[in-house]
Chain A
Amino acid sequence: MKFRYKVLIINMLLLSAVLLAVGYVILKRSYELALDTQIENAVLENNLAEASIEYSLLSVINSPRYDLDSELASISGQVYAGMMSDTSDLIILYSGNQVFSSEENIIIPDDLILQVDNNIKNYIITEEDGKLFIYIASFCKIDKGILNIITRRDITGLKRFVKKSINDYRSLSLIILTFATLIIYIISYFLTRPLEKLNKVTDAFAKGSYSERSDIKGHDEVALLSDKFNQMADSVETHIGELNDMIKRRDQFVADFTHEIKTPMTAIIGYADTLRSMELSEKERLTALNYIFSEGKRLEDMSMKLFDLIYLKSNAIEKKPIPAVSLGNDIVNSVKPLLLTDGITLKHDFEQGIIAGDRELLKTVFINLIDNARKASSKGSEVIFKGNKKDNLYYFTVQDFGVGIKEKDLNRICDEFYMVDKSRSRKKGGAGLGLSLASLILNKHEAVMKIESTPNVGTTFNICFKLSEEVNGKNNNE
């Protein structure tokens, strides 16, 4: 059931209960009030009748001879006709005998107490044939006898009044309830509308439209919930985006990998097949064998780098303090022969400093960077490899004066299998994995790599490490 209907029903039930209770109390009070008035009126009437009768009797009693019973009847007749209303009746009892009755067939109720003290009136309310009567009895002693003046007053009007009051109140209640229903429904509709909106948005979100947002404004709980929902949606959207990116990148990786592996495979299989099927000249034979060898090497290189990449992605590295000078010289010794064959000079210079890291992996990084520099450079050019200490940081710089990298390629050069110049890179034995591997290793060392490049001017790789001494120094101070 909808929330707004719940609100409506609960409110209606409550309002009905309140109206019932209030109605009961008010009607009861007004009935009692009306009854009191009726009783008072009846008593007043009785008093009047009593006073008139007693007054008239006085003159009768003072006369020497009288017949009390007949006198009483005539007096009562006069009093009744003279001063009592149509709805009232008068009954006179003298010493228990009825001497006057304004109407025939009036039976005095048994439980009307006749014998009470002087000046005290007794009354009783009875219902006869659907009519309501009030009986008032007064009592006095006259001439050795007891005189009872009994007035009967028809108060059926009271019953009608009560009935009318109840009917009026019922109609009023119905009108109140109808209006209240309408008003409460409208109010709860407006109160719950934001919830329904939120509901719709959530529905859409659950069905996959992750850009869906709720636009409920305000400071109440629903607006708060809506804000929270939007926050949640933001983070879900980001995560899904990241996941999709990851899947896309992985798909790209697999596609690139298959593509990269197909060329050397085609070459190796093709040349081997040619060698076994045809009689080739010595020169052709050598070409074929060379290609098989170099393409095989390329596959090997690619698989080693891939293995490193995969291993590093899922494993932590072990960091040890490394003196920068010794690392630098080590790298220089490894790459120098390769550069010399290409006719490229390597300038190097390292300041003292100790960084933390895995020596072999860092060597891989710089050998890759310097090898890239070599591939970009032409014969007779130079490559600079230096290390500088500044504040708490140590900078390694690899600079070449070769072909440079276009700005649109700079963002992608660390992607796996990405090659700025495919044929040039292939010719020099690249697979497009060196920089991805280098950037991953540097990531693991929390080192920052900056690349600046201008086409046809050269490229500078700047790698910034935290000095290991700084970490040690801090520990000592503590």
Chain B
Amino acid sequence: MLKILIVEDEKPISDLIVMNLTRAGYNCTALYDGESAADMLETNNFDLILLDIMLPKINGYELMEYIRPMNIPVIFITAKASLDDRIKGLTSGAEDYLVKPFEIVELLARINIVLRRYNKTESVLTFKDITVDTDNHIVKKGDTAISLTPKEFELLVVFIRNKNITLFRDRLYELVWPELIYSDELSETRTLDLHIQRLRKKLALKNDLKTIYNAGYRLAE
């Protein structure tokens, strides 16, 4: 299980992140100031750090200087949205910079990208008897290889990565068909439903890939 350290002094935000990351299968540790984070890092190893900039005692930039030699990827989470702040954040060695208010799915996606960059995610995902090799784009059900279109493949990966989370239609479009988000046809298009049907049929997911009425779909374990 991948270990993530969350350093955020706003308890509501910290709790929110922990709640969601735990569900997504990460091992979370939450701390509320820079000093205790530095102490924690001295004795424990983490795969990723989510770091607020405005922290009591030691601020995020200062803590970043401390973390840098450890080669642990850091994502800044902050309300500071100005270009200067972003540049300062990224040049200080952070992998990514997430501005509040952010959405949980976005956070999860960014975490995933950073972890993949550090080769910390497993490239093979599994769901029941389905295995997905994300590096080589190979999907197998049992031992039989299943051929999927690129979009079907992407959609499947999104569902397996977000098991037990209801993915709303707009979010699924955002993640898989970002090119359609700003088109007028989005409300009428059946693209998503068509792909869901194809996935259910090809991988026999009829009972697992559930339709949530008036919302979207969920892959339930």
Contact surface of A with B, Cβ cutoff 8 Å: 258-259, 262-267, 269-271, 273-274, 276-280, 284, 287-288, 291, 294-295, 421-423, 426-427
Distance between Cα atoms of A421 and B166 in the complex (Å): 38
Residues of A within 8 A of B11 (CB): 423, 426-427
Residues of A within 8 A of B80 (CB): 259
Among B13, B164, B167, the residue within 8 A (CB) of A267 is B13
Residues A263 and B10 in contact, CB atoms below 8 Å apart: yes
Indicate if B15 sits at the interface (CB-CB under 8 A).
Answer: yes
Please, which residue of chain B has its CB at the minimum distance from the CB of A260?
B79
Determine if A278 and B100 form an interchain contact, defined as CB atoms under 8 angstroms apart. Answer: no
* 22 residue pairs from A and B, CB less than 8 Å apart: A258-B79, A258-B81, A265-B101, A266-B100, A267-B16, A269-B103, A270-B20, A270-B101, A271-B12, A274-B19, A276-B215, A277-B165, A277-B166, A278-B23, A278-B166, A284-B19, A287-B15, A291-B16, A423-B11, A423-B33, A426-B10, A427-B11
Does B153 belong to the interface (CB within 8 Å)? no
CB distance from B72 to the nearest CB of A (A): 24
Among B32, B79, B105, the most chain A Cβ lie within 10 Å of the Cβ of B79
Interface assignment of B168: CB less than 8 Å from any CB of chain A:
yes
Interchain CB contact under 8 A, A423 and B56: yes
CB distance from A423 to the nearest CB of B (A): 5
* Cross-chain contact A263 with B12 (CB below 8 angstroms): yes
| Cβ < 8 Å to A, chain B residues 67-82 | 79-81
**Chain A interface main SS type:** helix
Q: Are A270 and B56 CB-contacts (below 8 A) given A276-B215, A279-B164? A: no
Q: Pick the residue among B9, B15, B81, B164 that contacts A278 (CB under 8 A).
A: B164
Provide the residues of chain B in CB contact with A276, threshold 8 Å.
166, 168, 215
Report if B104 contacts A (CB, 8 A).
yes
Query: Residues of B contacting A262 with CB < 8 Å?
Result: 79, 100-101
CB-nearest residue of chain B to A265 = B101
Q: In the docked arrangement, what's the CA distance between A262 and B98, Å?
A: 12
* Bound form: Cα–Cα A266–B10 in Å: 11
The CA of A267 and the CA of B10, in the complex, are separated in Å by: 9
- The distance in angstroms between the C-alpha atoms of A263 and B20, with both chains bound, is 17
A261 to chain B, nearest CB (A): 9
CA distance A146 to B164 in the complex (A): 163
What are the 3 closest A-B residue pairs judged by CB atoms, nearest first? A266-B101, A267-B12, A262-B79
Q: Are A271 and B16 in contact (CB under 8 A)?
A: yes
Q: Is the CB of B9 within 8 A of A422?
A: yes
**In whole angstroms, what is the CA distance A423 to B20 when docked?**
22
Contact A266 B15 (CB under 8 A): no
B12 in contact with A291 (CB, 8 Å):
yes
Determine whether the beta carbon of B56 is less than 8 Å from that of A263: no
B167 contacts across to A, CB distance below 8 A: 277
Q: Given A262-B100, A263-B10, A284-B19, verify A278-B165 contact (CB < 8 Å).
A: yes
